Amino acid sequence: MEPGNDTRISEFLLLGISNEPELQPYIFGIFLCMYLITVFGNLLIFLAVSSDPHLHTPMYFFLSNLSFVDICFISTTIPKMLWNIQMQSKGISYEGCITQIYFLLLFAGLDDFLLTVMAYDRFVAICHPLHYTVIMNPRLCGLLVLLSWVMSALNSLVQTLMILQLSFCRDLEIPNFFCELNQVVRRACCDTFLNDVMVYVAAGLLSGGPFIAILYSYSKIGSSICRISLAQGKYTAFYTCASHLSVVALFYSTILGVYLNPADAHSSHSSVTTSVMYTVVTPMLNPFIYSLRNKDIKKALKRFFGL
């Protein structure tokens, strides 16, 4: 299509994972399985924590919130992708694309903040164990989660409102299976300097800031673990942090790969692969990382199913 300016666009075209028709049934089956595994796994953790009084602690309160957010996060992209494959369509309405961007940013931000809050929880538990119940009281835990929602919602609102001010070209093909913020902005026919600045400012403040906070928390945790004299005590302290560290490493290594790539890399196959990792694979692996390494979750699930 010839480039041009059309502010009254009706839809974008999502190019998806592959344009090969013979691959579409396999892609549909794989992503449907991944979606069901993610929803079922995170739902089990959420139900286990909610139903078991033994898990009504700050750590599992944050974990249940993370599981709920992961279900919402993957549900913003995969159902639409599966629908398009089934209907042999690539279209997503302009309103649907903007809505998808809003909720993607919302739940990605919540993932980010909840991982930071969980790192702070582990910091208090290991570095200040005698004051843990006083510091991590229910009121503070609720406020931390509420603050995470508010900050994520504000960032999402600002970013989507700025997109609404853009006029778009007739080249509306997005080389991905969902409306990724940077790729949508690059379809605009007007100056996007302010949008680009806001994306990187938000990434620095809402991703870089929490990431630094997580690194600081674990530097203090590492120092405290090194001062523990008993080997069993060191192992126990490290074991309580291993699952969270795994999720943090997986989340940041993938999402930063999307937003720190140069502009011309976002249309490449590697960008789509990275997007799959942080929007699909990471939420799917979180329940396995936490449940397989966590005896309390396993016991709660057995009690939940009456085993």
Q: How high is the mean pLDDT of the chain?
A: 85
Q: Would you state the pLDDT for residue 200?
A: 83
Nearest to 247 by CA among 71, 73, 119: 119
Biggest CA pair distance of the chain: 70
Q: In degrees rounded to 5, what are phi and psi of residue 15?
A: -75, -20
Band (pLDDT 50/70/90 cuts) for residue 85 is very high
Q: Which residue has the tokens 């016991």?
A: 299
Q: Would you state the pLDDT for residue 172?
A: 86
pLDDT digits (tens, 9 = 90+) for 259-275: 555 444 444 566 787 78
pLDDT digits (tens, 9 = 90+) for 22-58: 999 999 999 999 999 999 999 999 998 998 888 899 9
Band (pLDDT 50/70/90 cuts) for residue 5 is very low
Band (pLDDT 50/70/90 cuts) for residue 208 is confident
Band (pLDDT 50/70/90 cuts) for residue 209 is confident
pLDDT of 169 over the 70 cut? yes
| pLDDT over 90, % of the chain | 44
For the chain, which residues make up each domain, given as ranges? 9-304
Q: Does domain 9-304 have CATH number 3.40.640.10?
A: no
CA dist 22 and 27 (Å) reads 10
264 contact partners, CB below 8 Å, separation of at least 6: none
Nearest to 166 by CA among 1, 3, 6, 4: 6
